[in-house]
Amino acid sequence: MSADRLPPASGAWREGDDPGARRFLDLPGPLKLEAGGELPEARLAYETWGELAPDGSNAVLVLHALTGDAHVEGPAGPGQPTAGWWPGLIGPGLPLDPARWFVVAPNALGGCQGSTGPASPAPDGRPWGSRFPAVTIRDTVAAEQHLADALGIDSFACVIGGSMGSMRSLEWAATEPDRVRRLALLAGPAASSADQIGWAAPQIEAIRADPGWHGGDYHDLGPGEGPWRGLGVARRIAHLCYRSGIELDTRFGRDRQPGEDPLDGGRFAVESYLDHHADKLVRRFDAASYVLLTRAMNLHDVGRERGGVEAGLRRVRARTRVAGVVSDRLYPIADQQRLADGISGAGDLTVIDSPYGHDGFLIETPTVGRLLTELLAESA
């Protein structure tokens, strides 16, 4: 690999980089963490669209998945290496029209695109690295409550999320039931299962086994150093969870990558596809954030310290819509059925008929858009 193509040790946004459309909130004091201890100081990066109504009634919170960020909609640009991750939902005439709604999207605590995480400076000025404490999905919500307070939002007209964003959305509604009037849960569970934790385990181990991991303290290393190889392996494993076997077989079959022969050490087309997604991620994400947030997803359990999952779901009072993707092999449709059954007034489960697997909640925009339009039109 040529020197100018070497991945960075970390793809995290750093102090001094162009902020792009990011805005920042410094939390007002230390953040106590569910597992014990605290973050002495922390901030959240976020983006907004539209204006908050004088009565604060039109705020919508959109929460990203594992490797997402605050940039839900918009082009790539300075300080923002990728275009918005959920195009087609925010904009004039779209379900989240900024002329009607004030849309808020924070980068999760522990992330790497402006919010405090392992790549961020600790109070001593050095990157947190291995010293960054464990966070849970509830901790991310606790930080986001400060953001809502700072923006003058007493309650959200709707909280929306898919995958890890669905976990965060559910925790918002269970932790702060009076602050969530409507709730859209897409392709996520009430609690992570053994199968989901099992899928995550080799991803975490691939990163930690990389010689460039250095125990989590690699953020000051140069290009080509750091655990980017392990992060790439983790992304390859994860991407197989995000897509369905039917889609991959239909799309690639046993085709060879053009110009390469698997009999002579070359790649199949599907291998090239996974390599491409691995290369993209290592240039925009941080391996330690990937480990931290994956562990937070493993710890997700809306029933923890609440008397079990069903009791946790009964805390939700928001008007709720739940959707799952029929071909999702990471968070299968039974997970969403449990949410729909356990949340009072959630109504029937919306089944997204898509071959794209877990990523269907991001790809099947017309179906998701209709669900959000209908939910936002209902009284809350």
Cβ atoms within 10 A of the Cβ of 4, count? 6
Find the catalytic residue in 10, 115, 120, 163.
163
Size of the chain in residues: 380
DSSP character for 163? T
Find the catalytic residue in 69, 146, 358, 359.
358
The separation between CA 129 and the C-alpha centre of its own chain, rounded to angstroms, equals 20
* Distance from C-alpha of 217 to C-alpha of 231, rounded to nearest angstrom: 15
71 is catalytic: no
163 is catalytic: yes
Find the catalytic residue in 286, 328, 335, 359.
328
What does each C-alpha distance from 58 to 69, 108, 182 come to in angstroms? 22, 22, 11
Q: Which residues pair with 59 in a beta bridge?
A: 102
DSSP character for 314? H
Q: Which helix (H) or strand (E) holds 341?
A: helix 333-342
From the DSSP assignment, how many helices (H) and strands (E) are in the chain? Answer: 11, 10
Residue 173: half-sphere exposure toward Cβ, Cα within 13 Å: 34
Give the active site residues: 163, 328, 358
